[in-house]
């Protein structure tokens, strides 16, 4: 029997888009959600400092929660920290989240794909390598958004968002070239699926929005199934941990709505 939770980590509320998919396919599991809200937003962090911060945080998180598996539900972190985390904590399986460039390149009909992400993710060598390895025949536009993650945080806490601001952030994703148009936008930040309806509403034309959350949850499950364990899972509340140690009431309410006890 395993009593060890699955730990889902992000800089803020974005990882909840992965948690909700994980819960659908592993309803019997217990989850610990960790938001590094003291470090939010990750988009502007210098790579080596961000890496060092996250590796350091996990010393405490692993000691306290003893997770059976960790999902880094954040592109900005995953594109830079996975190797360091695996080296520092070899006994813990880590699943990362990286821009869904390969599936987008396979699915596009027009050959024009955009990747919407934080400024950190679009700068990463990891992201450039994905394009080189899987999308050489496709025109990929990388769009670094300064504000969308924060807009998603506001939307989730307050229930409203400035649609004109969303329109402005997504506008560069829409490209017209030789009579062809962008037909796929990769949501390469886990915060963005929460704004998907607003994006659809403010987009200049319809596109496919790729949200990798379900694929990440499936990957986590496939690894968990290879680990030795029993079949019964204990009852116990899922919890949300904030590195600030100080979530406000709106955040606590939001977590409660996701079935998480905020700490
Ligand atoms: N949710 C994070 C991601 O997937 C980043 C949000 C941020 O910290 O700016 O990239």
Q: What is the pLDDT of residues 168-181, one digit of tens each?
A: 999 999 999 999 99
- Arithmetic mean of pLDDT, 66-90: 98
Under the banding of pLDDT at 50, 70 and 90, the label for residue 93 is very high
Which residues are CB-contacts of 233 (< 8 A; sequence separation ≥ 6)? 1, 2, 3, 28, 29, 30
Q: Taking 60 as the threshold, does the pLDDT of residue 7 lie above it?
A: yes
* Gyration radius of the chain's alpha carbons: 18
C-alpha 243/C-alpha 119 separation (Å) is 23
For 41, the 3-state DSSP assignment is: coil
Among 8, 100, 118, 187, the mutation site with the greatest number of ligand 1 atoms within 8 A of its Cβ is 118
Q: Which value, to the nearest 10 degrees, does the dihedral of the CA atoms of residues 156, 143, 147, 106 take?
A: 10
Q: Taking 90 as the threshold, does the pLDDT of residue 236 lie above it?
A: no
Q: Taking 80 as the threshold, does the pLDDT of residue 229 lie above it?
A: no
User: The domain at 101-211 falls in which architecture?
Assistant: 3-Layer(aba) Sandwich (3.40)
Say how many Å lie between the CA of residue 149 and the centre of ligand 1: 6
- Arithmetic mean of pLDDT, 112-135: 97
Q: Is 111 left (phi over 0), alpha (psi -120 to 50) or beta?
A: left
- Arithmetic mean of pLDDT, 117-133: 97
Q: According to the model, what pLDDT value does residue 228 have?
A: 83
The answer to whether the predicted template modeling score (pTM) of the entire model surpasses 0.85 is: yes
Residue given tokens 């958004």 in the structure block: 145
Under the banding of pLDDT at 50, 70 and 90, the label for residue 1 is low
Proportion of the chain above pLDDT 70, given as a percent: 97
DSSP 126: H
Q: Are strands 6-10 and 139-144 parallel, antiparallel or unpaired?
A: unpaired
Q: According to the model, what pLDDT value does residue 231 have?
A: 52
Q: According to the model, what pLDDT value does residue 2 have?
A: 62
Peptide bond into 41 cis (omega under 30): yes
Query: Token pair of 98, please?
Result: 């990286």
Say how many Å lie between the CA of residue 146 and the centre of ligand 1: 11
For 249, the 3-state DSSP assignment is: helix
Sign of CA dihedral 197, 156, 194, 235: negative
Kindly report the CATH number that applies to the domain delimited by 6-97+214-262: 3.40.50.1860
- Arithmetic mean of pLDDT, 219-225: 97
Q: According to the model, what pLDDT value does residue 156 have?
A: 96
Q: Are strands 112-117 and 184-187 parallel, antiparallel or unpaired?
A: parallel
Q: Which residue spans of the chain are classified as CATH 3.40.50.1860?
A: 6-97+214-262, 101-211
Q: According to the model, what pLDDT value does residue 237 have?
A: 87
Catalytic: 74? yes
Q: According to the model, what pLDDT value does residue 233 have?
A: 63
Q: Taking 90 as the threshold, does the pLDDT of residue 263 lie above it?
A: no
Instruction: Say if residues 249 and 44 touch (Cβ distance below 8 Å).
Output: no
- Arithmetic mean of pLDDT, 126-146: 97
Say how many Å lie between the CA of residue 189 and the centre of ligand 1: 5
C-alpha 26/C-alpha 198 separation (Å) is 29
Under the banding of pLDDT at 50, 70 and 90, the label for residue 226 is very high
Point out the catalytic residue in the list 81, 189, 240, 251: 189
Q: According to the model, what pLDDT value does residue 254 have?
A: 96
The per-residue pLDDT of the chain, averaged, comes to: 95
Residue given tokens 């006994």 in the structure block: 91
The closest-lying atom of ligand 1 relative to the alpha carbon of residue 42 is 8
Summarised one tens digit per residue, pLDDT across range 25-73 is 999 999 999 999 999 999 989 999 999 999 999 999 999 999 999 999 9
């Amino acid at each position: 029997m395993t009593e060890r939770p699955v730990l889902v980590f992000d800089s803020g509320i974005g990882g909840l888009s992965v948690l909700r998919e994980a819960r659908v396919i592993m309803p019997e599991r217990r989850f610990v959600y960790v938001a590094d809200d003291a470090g939010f937003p990750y988009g502007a962090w210098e790579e080596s400092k961000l890496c060092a911060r996250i590796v350091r945080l996990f010393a405490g998180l692993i000691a306290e929660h003893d997770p059976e598996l960790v999902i880094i539900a954040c592109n900005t972190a995953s594109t830079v920290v996975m190797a360091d985390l695996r080296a520092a904590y070899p006994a813990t399986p880590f699943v990362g989240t990286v821009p869904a460039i390969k599936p987008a390149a396979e699915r596009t009909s027009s050959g024009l794909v955009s990747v919407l992400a934080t400024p950190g993710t679009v700068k990463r060598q990891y992201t450039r390598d994905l394009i080189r390895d899987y999308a050489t025949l496709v025109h990929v536009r990388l769009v670094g958004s300064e504000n969308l993650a924060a807009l998603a945080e506001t939307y989730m806490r307050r229930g409203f968002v400035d649609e004109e601001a969303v329109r402005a952030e997504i506008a560069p994703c829409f490209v017209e070239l030789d009579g062809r148009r962008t037909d796929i936008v990769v949501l390469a930040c886990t915060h963005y699926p929460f704004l998907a309806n607003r994006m659809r509403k403010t987009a200049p034309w319809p596109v496919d929005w790729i949200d990798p959350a379900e694929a990440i949850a499936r990957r986590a499950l496939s690894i968990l199934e290879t680990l030795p364990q029993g079949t019964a899972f204990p009852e116990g509340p899922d919890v949300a941990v904030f590195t600030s140690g100080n979530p406000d009431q709106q955040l606590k309410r939001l977590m409660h709505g996701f079935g998480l006890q905020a700490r």
